[in-house]
């Protein structure tokens, strides 16, 4: 086989690209502002403005819809960020050689982690009360100060208070255990990301296999920690919104949604970089593998979705089925419920079924953004019904906030990608990747 000359490539984050991203973010911000104005001047969602809408327990205000949207995007982009590090760790732990050319793309996602951590922590402290029903302290006292029975007492949530407030469980105030988990997860994820990224840079300079073996060790540690933290974070940040509801499959479900979104974004960036003349070591065989991942894990997501749905449907336990009744039988959310399945299963399954579709950039450029958007709607469906009930909607506010987050996330990862070579020229499996053929 003919030898291939390898030259180091570095992505140039041009002023034009930065300007386009700033325009994209500004457009998103403008759309969000117009969306809020429309809600307050008779547009979509105005009927619920400033009135006690759910039996007087919580008064609905347009800010709650803004808070719900901020939380959806916080969790969605935080998940894609940590999935990038997960992708890199999987490649090292499994000693995969084919992915040398795309690992730096996934690695760049981790640069969003500190921003995501701060956004989620600040968001919870500022408006967590509007997102999480369990933060209301009056739910935990059986009796009022005058000795009468507290009508707001919730025995189910009271039974879960240790999970949120431990060790301060007698008089729940600050959710110490919940906040500690949040800080630890982001702290460890980011620390391990920095470790892996530092070793990759050292490998570029030093060569040899010592750094590769070190990365294998740290990748295994990351995977062990991620196995627990990804599920617990899904319970904390999403499932606890519907505090009465519980699913043993929910951690896997959220992971599947994050994972396939991250795979679609890695693939999309790879084909776009190739269009710009980068990633000469990536060919149709590597794109084919990424396409197979998108295809396979779209089916995996559907499998987990259907398994969770079917178990609850046949068990027919009222406190479990209500979760799907609120989404499936609601005029407000039913269209999104069906669109979720169409965008995340039927469309990827049909488009990516053939070998050619997985290998050619034009198919990837169509289906990858659809998959990412589809799973954003998946998170919308996980968060909005529990936080906004019948006041949820979809319009300029939702689209605008998503644009702002997407633009900021893209800016951070492209900036990170421009700091290091696009692939490791001293990676011990570079030759295997160059000769990869399927």
Q: Determine the pLDDT at residue 438.
A: 82
173 vs 324, more confident: 324
Check residues 39 and 12 and name the one with the higher pLDDT: 12
Cα(139)–Cα(130) distance, integer angstroms: 15
- The Cα–Cα gap between 364 and 282 comes to 15
**What pLDDT was estimated at residue 3?**
53
Give the confidence band of 49 by pLDDT, cuts at 50, 70, 90. very low
Asked if pLDDT for residue 35 goes beyond 60, the answer is yes
Span 154-210, pLDDT tens digits = 999 999 999 999 987 777 789 999 999 999 999 999 999 999 999 999 998 888 899
Shortest CA distance to 187 belongs to which of 250, 229, 215? 229
Report the 10 Å Cβ neighbour count for 355. Answer: 12
294 closest CA partner among 337, 339, 259 = 259
- The mean per-residue pLDDT over the stretch 32-40 comes to 93
E strand or H helix that includes residue 59: strand 59-60
What pLDDT score was predicted for residue 394? 87
| pLDDT for res 50 | 41
pLDDT tens for residues 228-283? 999 999 999 999 999 999 999 999 999 999 999 999 999 999 999 999 999 999 99
pLDDT value of position 54: 44
pLDDT digits (tens, 9 = 90+) for 281-304: 999 999 999 999 999 999 999 999
| pLDDT at residue 43 is higher than 80 | no
Which pLDDT does position 198 carry in this prediction? 96
pLDDT band at 5 (very low <50, low <70, confident <90, very high): low
CB atoms within 10 A of CB 208: 11
Give the 3-state secondary structure of residue 130. Answer: helix
Give the model confidence (pLDDT) of 379-435 as tens digits: 999 999 999 998 888 899 999 999 999 999 999 999 999 999 999 988 999 999 988
The helix (run of H) or strand (run of E) holding residue 51 is strand 51-52
Q: How many Cβ atoms sit within 10 Å of the Cβ of residue 54?
A: 13
């Amino acid at each position: 086989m003919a030898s291939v000359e390898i030259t180091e490539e570095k992505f140039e984050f041009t002023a034009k690209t930065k300007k386009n991203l700033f325009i994209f973010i500004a457009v998103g911000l403008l759309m969000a502002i117009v969306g809020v104005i429309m809600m307050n001047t008779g547009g979509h969602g105005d009927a619920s403005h400033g009135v006690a809408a759910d039996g007087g327990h919580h008064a609905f205000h347009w800010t709650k819809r803004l808070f719900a949207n901020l939380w959806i995007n916080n969790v969605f982009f935080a998940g894609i960020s940590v999935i990038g590090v997960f992708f890199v760790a999987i490649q090292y732990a499994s000693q995969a050689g084919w992915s040398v050319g795309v690992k730096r793309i996934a690695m760049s996602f981790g640069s969003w982690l500190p921003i995501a951590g701060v956004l989620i922590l600040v968001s919870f402290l500022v408006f967590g009360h509007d997102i999480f029903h369990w933060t209301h302290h009056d739910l935990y006292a059986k009796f009022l100060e005058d000795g009468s029975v507290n009508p707001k007492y919730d025995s189910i949530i009271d039974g879960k208070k240790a999970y949120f407030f431990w060790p301060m469980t007698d008089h729940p105030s600050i959710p110490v255990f919940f906040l500690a988990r949040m800080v630890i997860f982001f702290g460890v994820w980011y620390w391990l990301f920095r470790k892996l990224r530092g070793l990759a840079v050292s490998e570029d300079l030093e060569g040899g296999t010592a750094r590769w073996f070190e990365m294998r060790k740290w990748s295994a540690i990351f995977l062990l920690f991620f196995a627990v933290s990804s599920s617990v974070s899904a319970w904390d940040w999403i499932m606890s919104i519907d505090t009465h509801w519980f699913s043993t499959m929910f951690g896997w479900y959220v992971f599947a949604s994050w994972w396939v979104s991250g795979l679609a974004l890695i693939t999309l960036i790879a084909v776009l970089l190739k269009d710009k003349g980068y990633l000469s070591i990536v060919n149709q065989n590597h794109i084919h593998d990424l396409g197979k991942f998108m295809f396979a894990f779209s089916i995996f997501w559907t499998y987990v979705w259907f398994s969770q749905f079917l178990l609850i449907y046949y068990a027919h336990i009222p406190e479990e089925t209500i979760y799907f009744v609120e989404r499936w039988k609601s005029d407000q959310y039913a269209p999104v419920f069906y669109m979720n399945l169409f965008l995340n299963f039927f469309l990827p399954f049909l488009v990516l079924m053939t070998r050619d579709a997985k290998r050619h950039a034009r198919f990837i450029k169509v289906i990858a953004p659809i998959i990412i958007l589809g799973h954003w709607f998946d998170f919308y469906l996980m968060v909005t019904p529990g936080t906004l009930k019948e006041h949820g909607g979809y319009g300029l506010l939702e689209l605008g906030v998503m644009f702002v987050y997407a633009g900021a996330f893209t800016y951070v990862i492209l900036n990170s990608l421009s700091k290091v070579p696009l692939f490791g020229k001293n990676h011990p499996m570079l030759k295997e990747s160059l000769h990869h053929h399927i």
